[in-house]
């Protein structure tokens, strides 16, 4: 009984996989909001390095991973693929449950897979500082780690709700040398505007993005970095799924269903895209892929598939995606990384076209699943990740009913060592299950329809 399937360092994939080469129809391009025309590379060069702009639109199937990036990846990659024998046994399921474990990275999640690549390309192009936003703090800490490796400065706008709930992530960022501010701040016009309108706001990822973009656009030596949603971020994350495929080959397995939690869609896409390529090419037509999101921010299950801004201040290009409206501010649930109003255009297109599905869960059922996982497999996972563990457990129990021996893979995106207050709230029975705020979502979608 092999619990972990390991790859050797020299078996680590040397190229990222680009799903754009396998899509049957091309992605709808990002639009310039002022002209309604597709965005041009020049429009983005004020805040992104050229290499990442190229990766955003490339149609090449494989993009080589720079040697320097591979060297940093080796601090924690290749990551193990686990067989969750103990969880299976506790559930008495005939299903086989696997997960890839990204909690072994220095910041404790999948996020450095792209942070390291982004910091590297910015450094190569002479940039001295990177600004960014962070929700629960995982992205900020991943970028703080990555910039420290390549000698860049880092400014992080952290959603106020999380800044106050989760001081340890801020301390981590500061340990890696970054500066971190609770957003909305008074440092940017976007921040000042929101604070005037909503003095008591707990912030949102959309607001924090506005602040970070404005900061980067203002200074020549500063670029902006996004931890999810964009094509190049998903591209970097495919190192996960590529490793998983090799690991499944070693044990002569292939997943029937893949679950992942979706905030902006990067960790899950990183895992499922290499498998989705097989499905699109007709090699594994029956593969099921399911996104798991919170009912408090039900982007894929309740949102509209349309062009919308990536941020609240309407500074970013328009992206074709499922959205709850750029001014939608979700309730302050503990899975801070899943509180984004939109999702990655690639993942949304695949969802819209029926290649994959989505489900939404409440906080309490999600934490219940996380605790089942902790008491069987041992790891205390992030509240975000717990969403797909809930889906996995439900499916494994369904298999118990039907006797199906399904092979399940879920994306175990990170640990929850800085989310213990949320576990505590669950233990104490204090977690609120936010009812799907239908009126708020409708209001925000109506406003969006009027604008676009």
Ligand X SMILES: *Cc1c(COP(=O)(O)O)cnc(C)c1O
Q: Which residues here bind ligand X, judged by CB under 6 A?
A: 109, 111, 138-139, 228, 261-267, 337-338, 382, 384-385, 413-414
Q: Is 410 helix (H, G, I), strand (E, B) or coil?
A: strand
Can you tell me the distance from the alpha carbon of 119 to that of 224, in angstroms, rounded to the nearest whole number? Answer: 10
Compare residues 83 and 110 and give the one whose CB is closer to ligand X: 110
Residues 6 or more apart in contact with residue 381 via CB below 8 angstroms: 103, 370, 373, 374, 389, 412, 414, 415, 416
Compare residues 148 and 291 and give the one whose CB is closer to ligand X: 291
Can you tell me the distance from the alpha carbon of 435 to that of 443, in angstroms, rounded to the nearest whole number? Answer: 16
Can you tell me the distance from the alpha carbon of 58 to that of 76, in angstroms, rounded to the nearest whole number? Answer: 28
Can you tell me the distance from the alpha carbon of 132 to that of 180, in angstroms, rounded to the nearest whole number? Answer: 10
Min dist CB 400 to ligand X, Å, is: 27
Min dist CB 111 to ligand X, Å, is: 6
- Crossing angle for the helix pair 167-175 and 138-150, nearest 10 degrees? 10
Compare residues 263 and 399 and give the one whose CB is closer to ligand X: 263
Min dist CB 272 to ligand X, Å, is: 11
Compare residues 234 and 399 and give the one whose CB is closer to ligand X: 234
Do 144 and 134 contact (CB within 8 A), yes or no?
no
Min dist CB 252 to ligand X, Å, is: 29
Question: Any idea how long the chain is?
Answer: 452
Can you tell me the distance from the alpha carbon of 291 to that of 263, in angstroms, rounded to the nearest whole number? Answer: 10
Do 259 and 409 contact (CB within 8 A), yes or no?
yes
Can you tell me the distance from the alpha carbon of 290 to that of 356, in angstroms, rounded to the nearest whole number? Answer: 6
Compare residues 30 and 294 and give the one whose CB is closer to ligand X: 294
Compare residues 69 and 292 and give the one whose CB is closer to ligand X: 292
Compare residues 239 and 399 and give the one whose CB is closer to ligand X: 239
Compare residues 105 and 444 and give the one whose CB is closer to ligand X: 105
DSSP 58-117: ---SEEEPPHHHHHHHTTTPSPPEEE-HHHHHHHT-SSEEEEEE-TTSTTSBSTHHHHHH
Can you tell me the distance from the alpha carbon of 442 to that of 282, in angstroms, rounded to the nearest whole number? Answer: 38
Can you tell me the distance from the alpha carbon of 150 to that of 177, in angstroms, rounded to the nearest whole number? Answer: 12
Q: What angle do CA 33, 320, 22 make, to 5 degrees?
A: 130
HEC per residue, 333-386: CCCHHHCCCCCCHHHHHHHHCCCCEEEEECHHHHHHHHHHHHHHCCCCECHHHH
How many CA atoms does the CB half-sphere of 73 hold within 13 Å?
A: 29
Min dist CB 382 to ligand X, Å, is: 4
Min dist CB 182 to ligand X, Å, is: 18
Min dist CB 347 to ligand X, Å, is: 9
Compare residues 264 and 310 and give the one whose CB is closer to ligand X: 264
Compare residues 102 and 395 and give the one whose CB is closer to ligand X: 102
Min dist CB 283 to ligand X, Å, is: 26
Min dist CB 135 to ligand X, Å, is: 7
Min dist CB 110 to ligand X, Å, is: 6
């Amino acid at each position: 009984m092999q619990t972990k399937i390991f790859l050797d360092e020299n078996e680590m994939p040397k190229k990222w996989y680009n799903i754009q080469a396998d899509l049957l129809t091309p992605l709808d391009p990002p639009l310039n909001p002022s002209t309604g025309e597709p965005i041009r590379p020049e429009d983005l060069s004020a805040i992104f390095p050229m290499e990442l702009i190229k990766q955003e639109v490339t149609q090449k199937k494989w993009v080589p991973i720079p040697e320097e990036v591979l060297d940093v990846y080796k601090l924690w990659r290749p990551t193990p693929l686990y067989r969750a024998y103990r969880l299976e046994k506790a559930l008495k399921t005939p299903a086989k449950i696997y997960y890839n474990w990204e909690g072994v990275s220095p910041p404790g999640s999948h996020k450095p897979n792209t942070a390291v690549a982004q910091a590297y390309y910015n450094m190569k192009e002479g940039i001295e500082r990177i600004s960014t936003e962070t929700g629960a703090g995982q992205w900020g800490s991943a970028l703080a780690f990555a910039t420290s490796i390549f000698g860049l400065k880092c400014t992080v706008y952290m959603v106020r709700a999380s800044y106050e709930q989760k001081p340890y992530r801020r301390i981590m960022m500061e340990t890696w040398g970054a500066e971190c501010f609770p957003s909305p701040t008074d440092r940017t016009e976007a921040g000042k505007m929101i604070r005037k309108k909503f003095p008591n706001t707990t912030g949102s990822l959309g607001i924090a993005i506005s602040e970070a973009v404005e900061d980067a656009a203002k200074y020549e030596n500063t670029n902006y970095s996004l931890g999810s949603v964009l094509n190049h971020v998903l591209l970097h994350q495919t190192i996960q799924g590529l490793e998983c495929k090799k690991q499944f080959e070693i044990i002569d397995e292939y997943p029937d269903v893949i679950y992942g939690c979706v905030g902006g869609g990067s960790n899950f896409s990183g895992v499922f895209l290499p498998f989705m390529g097989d499905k699109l090419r007709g090699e594994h037509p029956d593969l099921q892929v399911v996104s798991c999101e919170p009912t408090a921010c039900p982007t894929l299950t309740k949102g509209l598939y349309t062009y919308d801004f990536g941020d609240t201040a309407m500074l970013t290009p328009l992206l074709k995606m499922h959205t709850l409206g750029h001014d939608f501010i979700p309730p302050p649930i503990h899975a801070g990384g899943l509180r984004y109003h939109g999702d990655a255009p690639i993942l949304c297109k695949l969802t819209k076209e029926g290649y994959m599905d989505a489900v939404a869960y409440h906080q309490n059922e999600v934490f219940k699943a996380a605790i089942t996982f902790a008491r069987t497999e041992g790891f205390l996972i992030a509240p975000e990740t717990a969403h797909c563990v809930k889906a996995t457990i439900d499916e494994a129990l369904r298999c118990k009913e039907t006797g199906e021996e399904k092979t399940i893979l879920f994306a175990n995106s990170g640990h929850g060592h800085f989310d213990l207050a949320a576990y505590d709230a669950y233990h104490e029975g204090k977690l609120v299950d936010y009812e799907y705020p239908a009126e708020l979502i409708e209001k925000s979608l109506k406003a969006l329809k009027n604008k676009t």
